[in-house]
Amino acid sequence: MAEEPSNLDISDELIAERRSGAPGDLPWNMRPWMRTTITALDTISLWVGRIACLLLVPLIVAMVWEVVARKVFIAPTFWAYDTSRMLAGALFMLGAGYALMRGVHIRADFLYRLWRPETQAKVDAFLYIVLFFPGMLFFFYIAADYTWSAWLKWERSMDTAWMAPVAPARTAMPLGALFLILQGISEFLKCLYTIQHNRWP
């Protein structure tokens, strides 16, 4: 029987561990204005993520209720599908900034992880300026207009007989984009620090 290796390479699994610290846990040599800004933005993302997690409770209740009603009582609900879909969408949108803060967004890093931190930061900063901020600002604009229209018309879902109002769930789209933009500013500032010091804060 072959022996198991004693030192497994788990770097892929630990990519997000770099971001497990609390907001404000930053290097001593970071500029005060940068430290204050990053701490404030990371704290916002942390609390938005924690509050968004509370949406899991009604989401689980709705799904369990539907399964029990459908399988045990042969009486499927007409509201569970819309409720679970809207809650899951809101959870996804509102949690995006938190995920960016923790560094758990999916990235193709088979090359990226081999670069020096300074090189990683330069590439990240370039992509934030060229793709991230323009794309997210455009998405925020479109989502805000889409949501405002839904509130004005009190638009309803046409997917089910329940015809649930969609405006409350759609509000999560511009809010999620806004929180993602704010966290992007924090990440961009971290890139600037890394470019100067060749290590991630």
Mean per-residue pLDDT pooled into runs of 10, the chain (201 residues): 51 54 86 95 96 95 92 87 92 95 80 90 96 98 96 88 89 97 97 94 89
pLDDT at 16: 45
pLDDT at 113: 84
What angle is formed at CA 136 by the lines to CA 131 and CA 140, rounded to 5 degrees?
155
Give domain limits for the chain.
31-197
pLDDT at 127: 95
Which residue bears the tokens 């997690």?
53
| C-alpha atoms less than 13 angstroms from C-alpha of 48 in its C-beta half-sphere | 28
How is residue 31 written in tokens? 């500029």
Question: Quick check: 187 and 195 in contact, CB under 8 A?
Answer: no
pLDDT at 189: 97
